[in-house]
Structure 1
């Protein structure tokens, strides 16, 4: 799909009658393709000539018009999480060099001029499609290892990333995509909103990703994070309503095997699991027409190659058990970290592979299993390298365990000891259960029961807060 980035919004085609009365639905607002083209072009006229603008990324029709308007004008979008604290927001605005603020004037705007986004404004001015290497987004990472970094993504990368998902998921204009995820990350914004606008499938944002909202949306393709799917299976009536869907996609964190199994039992659909980062977009996925194995994220999407390597850079065997750092290459990768040339250089190997910082295993058929982050999920204990994800999967299979996070804490004897933080009812047989499933060196030396696990906006557990 070459040419216009958001192909379904081609102004000539829309003007010629290729419209859709409900191309985007968010809450009570319904936008046709004509509404989006006219409203977004009105935004484009107000910001044309700027280099970057900040968009308060609330799940609203105004955000849709702001993002699309900037893309029409060739202006880079800096999505600002609506729940960002003042320190994080100030950092994003200052670091990005945003020249305008598209969002509510009453919000903390960092002194930037506020550009109003009017839902009923219309302009039919025609803009030339920006060249593919133009920056589309500066997405800020979650900042787990320091201040958030600005990930620079080009229009070319966005188009390649979406196009690679089309055959993997058999995504077509006949689908209706539904999700209730944030519009400031790759999952909800790029793959979700922009994916639908490029493919031409109607898009429904549920506001909040509740089971009832998902059930009522009537979609064929659903996106969710594990927390969302866990809530869906806890509401059997809503889960059964999704049986008419075509595909359920889970990402942004590992989907617990019990949730996978419950989704399959209640909806009739084994969910598709996929892997990606802000820097790589979605690069690995199980297929709509392929095997869907709990705990495994599938094969590289079209155009992507992967490898796993040991700490010394030597290849790790593809035996499904050996783990190493996951490295990737592909046309949808980012251009670098904004204002951070040293961090950008360090992110790449000398022979051109991006270091994801994630630990993975690959089996003999090329199917990938993500163990977790090297910084928090690779535990080195007593000379063994242990993947926290494997231990978590075993613990989650116990009926008394609702949630779990496994970390390596400092230990004078072992270097690190395996500690599990468990949400759920205490059980006398939990240690015996784990002992039947795991080798001695992988078993938690300590199990701590907690009320909740710290999570970010995408549902990912913040392990650095556990100690």
Structure 2
């Protein structure tokens, strides 16, 4: 199904009422942040009162700290039918100023004790309550109406605001619920930031749409994961850096092993989970980590299904219900091979897509090939239709000696070396090859790092020789953003 298949009065995805459990599950636990918690009834009262207060606003910004207030604020905005712009509290003042000027929020929602930076001083502030007396039931809201404006990371220019309609949120949450057998009986544990798709839409709105419970750690810690999974948590959401820390700990922490083994599902996203971490966690706990694939503009596109009996480390699974997906070659023609080798750009369509970039019709037009969204991600499809991502077109596709090489498989090969703790692979110009493969390595122990020749031979033994790194740099740490993604443009690459 595409965006064009949904009319303004079509509520195929139940987007008008995103949270039916607010009416029907008053005594059930809804949210817990540390020692603070709300039942569904208490959340309905607090969010309902705030919804009345902000109703009619053209757009509101939300100071998205990892707190109960942020969850109440986003639910209130959605109940009121007011588009909400989540703000990363770590954003610098220049970028924050751009986001505020571009989105022009009528109000700023924040926790009562939050200190807001100077760019927000000119905006009317509304403190978010966590208690209240409720409000009248929300009226019908157009499923095509904007629900959120989420800003991209801005790696190729100023951040762009992706306008996400209510139907996209409903469609993606229901699709992942189908893939993960997610129900109201599940208790989700995570410590992700709440200003982006993974932590806020999947991690807060997901359990509330199902009628289940969220236990947010405030910030990720191995101790917090162990504690909450041992105390009834059934789902864990994380990014690869979090799972890496868990993988490093399982060999010496039997209680953590037991807690992870008792979880129903472990889900990783936002970047590829290295194969060595898959192996260490599965070997220790008997539980596999399933990966899914999404982005700001599309929400969720694919996932490994909970009922898939086949281990799939390195795969992001099959397209979710309602999502169309194709690979396209350099000439714009669909890739028809399901051979696990032929690389193409991933394009998607469906009700999960954004409606455009705020105030950027030019960027919106450039992002689409007809009704297919150009993700900029490169992937291959296996015989059963499952997708493996080899990297971003701009940073991870290396054209060397006539070959197309995906950085991801080289990174996994390097991570399999015992002397490598972290690895990133990029390309740089080469007068003979066109581009040469460059590896950026954080050694397992700084004083005993492997030699470049040893690492090149290690890759050649696992992959084709043309995929070996020609240049190797050693670093103390790889640059990462707030979601744990490696910022390859900070590794000496051209912007």
Q: Does 1:421 align with 2:440?
A: yes
More moved, 99-108 vs 40-49: 99-108
Matches within 5 A, 1:228-243: 228-236=242-250, 237=253, 238-243=256-261
Shift, 1:309, TM fit: 1.1
Q: Provide the secondary structure at the position in 2 that maps to 1:273.
A: strand
Q: 1:439 maps to which residue?
A: 464
Q: 1:345 maps to which residue?
A: 365
Supply the distance in 2 between the matched residues of 1:266 and 1:5 (Cα, whole angstroms).
42
Q: 2:49 maps to which residue?
A: 42
State the Cα deviation string for residues 343-402 of structure 1 (Å, max 9, x = none). Answer: 10111113x211000000001110100111100001112222111011111111111111
State how many pairs are aligned. 461
Do 1:90 and 1:110's aligned partners in 2 also have CA atoms closer than 8 Å? no
Could you tell me the TM-score, scaled by structure 2's length? 0.91
Do 1:406 and 1:420's aligned partners in 2 also have CA atoms closer than 8 Å? yes
Specify whether residues 340 and 110 from structure 1 end up closer, same or farther in structure 2 by C-alpha distance, changes over 3 A only.
Answer: farther
Shift, 1:21, TM fit: 4.1
Q: Provide the secondary structure at the position in 1 that maps to 2:147.
A: strand
Matches within 5 A, 1:252-331: 252-290=270-308, 291-316=310-335, 317-331=337-351
Q: 1:146 maps to which residue?
A: 157
Do 2:16 and 2:142's aligned partners in 1 also have CA atoms closer than 8 Å? no
Specify whether residues 35 and 69 from structure 1 end up closer, same or farther in structure 2 by C-alpha distance, changes over 3 A only.
Answer: same
Supply the distance in 2 between the matched residues of 1:292 and 1:74 (Cα, whole angstroms).
41
Q: Provide the secondary structure at the position in 2 that maps to 1:34.
A: helix
Matches within 5 A, 1:34-433: 34-104=41-111, 106-108=115-117, 109-218=120-229, 219-236=233-250, 237=253, 238-290=256-308, 291-316=310-335, 317-350=337-370, 352-424=371-443, 425=445, 426-428=449-451, 429-433=454-458
Q: 1:22 maps to which residue?
A: 29
Shift, 1:4, TM fit: 4.8
Supply the distance in 2 between the matched residues of 1:91 and 1:281 (Cα, whole angstroms).
23
Supply the distance in 2 between the matched residues of 1:283 and 1:229 (Cα, whole angstroms).
22
Shift, 1:3, TM fit: 5.8
Supply the distance in 1 between the matched residues of 2:131 and 2:303 (Cα, whole angstroms).
39
Supply the distance in 1 between the matched residues of 2:235 and 2:57 (Cα, whole angstroms).
36
Do 2:62 and 2:84's aligned partners in 1 also have CA atoms closer than 8 Å? yes
Q: 2:6 maps to which residue?
A: none
Q: Provide the secondary structure at the position in 2 that maps to 1:83.
A: coil
Q: Which runs of 5+ in 1 are unaligned?
A: none
Supply the distance in 1 between the matched residues of 2:161 and 2:342 (Cα, whole angstroms).
33
Do 2:22 and 2:43's aligned partners in 1 also have CA atoms closer than 8 Å? no
Q: Provide the secondary structure at the position in 2 that maps to 1:46.
A: helix
Using CA pairs under 8 Å that are at least 6 residues apart, name the structure with larger relative contact order, 1 or 2. Answer: 2
Do 2:14 and 2:167's aligned partners in 1 also have CA atoms closer than 8 Å? no
Supply the distance in 1 between the matched residues of 2:130 and 2:218 (Cα, whole angstroms).
18
Q: Provide the secondary structure at the position in 2 that maps to 1:115.
A: strand
Shift, 1:125, TM fit: 2.5
Supply the distance in 1 between the matched residues of 2:121 and 2:144 (Cα, whole angstroms).
29
Specify whether residues 25 and 387 from structure 1 end up closer, same or farther in structure 2 by C-alpha distance, changes over 3 A only.
Answer: same
Q: 1:464 maps to which residue?
A: 489
Q: Provide the secondary structure at the position in 2 that maps to 1:405.
A: strand
Q: 1:7 maps to which residue?
A: 19
Shift, 1:267, TM fit: 1.9
Could you tell me the TM-score, scaled by structure 1's length? 0.96
Which aligned segments of 4 or more residues in structure 1 are displaced greater than 6 angstroms?
A: none
State the Cα deviation string for residues 106-164 of structure 1 (Å, max 9, x = none). Answer: 31215111011122233232221312111110000111111111000011110001011
Shift, 1:61, TM fit: 0.7
More moved, 174-183 vs 123-132: 123-132
Q: Provide the secondary structure at the position in 2 that maps to 1:7.
A: coil
Do 1:233 and 1:239's aligned partners in 2 also have CA atoms closer than 8 Å? no
Supply the distance in 2 between the matched residues of 1:239 and 1:231 (Cα, whole angstroms).
13
Shift, 1:167, TM fit: 1.5
Do 2:15 and 2:169's aligned partners in 1 also have CA atoms closer than 8 Å? no
State the Cα deviation string for residues 205-258 of structure 1 (Å, max 9, x = none). Answer: 111111110111131011010000000111222243211100000110000001
Supply the distance in 2 between the matched residues of 1:5 and 1:283 (Cα, whole angstroms).
23
